[in-house]
Structure 1
């Protein structure tokens, strides 16, 4: 999640028009406080947690660390166009300094929480592309089926459809 947040922040900095959609408290974020807390823990800046963020992470707190609030800080992230021979994300993620080694205060699962916002953004963008004016009269169930099949295209092909038993649909 911290990598995605880093990429989103840099994109918003480079292209300000995207800031509304990529900011940490965007409408698409289910729990902005929790997401912010996870990013801070992943970065190693637990000292910067607000009381609300600490409360959101309370279920993940290790019992031994509850009495010892150790924290570390990180340096600034720099990205230069001189290294732009590689792709944007690779250069930006490799330019981060290594975090200080500190005894963890939270369960290791907190650092492994995947971002959902980028998956949702991609799905909604695909829906917007599918929902053209000539498809506006589709029933929601049919639209959902089209989007589901497009999203999961890697799991099926024409041969899969040909193997389906057509007799099951003719029973009506």
Structure 2
């Protein structure tokens, strides 16, 4: 009886892990989703923390990952210095203020600059494209698999430029179809 219950519990744990594994292979998954799923798995089985914790040894860049998760949560104002440095290349350029606005501030009342300062303090730095970073390397692995297949079949008669073009077109099939090719002729 106890063996059956232990097996059922183990099956439940395995199903949880399997559902996370399948969800990771989805198309619209970002780092925040993955962090939430991993954090949900860790209490189910403590051994998962060795590999799935935010600062696990297997994580290549913990500051980058935790910074992405904070920004995707809408908590960019809570980034540490290391996280800001890791996300620096994704920081959107701040809109430039014109000289006319500066002139208006000089002639404005005493209260206006204080209001503006408060509004600027509320603004969080904007980081671009973080939600489009794939949380796994599945796309890259599939790409190299396709490249190996394509190159293997035609390796003797294929110029590098032609291989590059074939792989580019095959990887981006969502952006073109037969009508696009026909119109390009």
In the superposition, the TM-score normalised over structure 1's length comes to 0.46
Larger helix proportion of the pair: 2
Largest Rg, 1 or 2: 2
In the superposition, the TM-score normalised over structure 2's length comes to 0.43
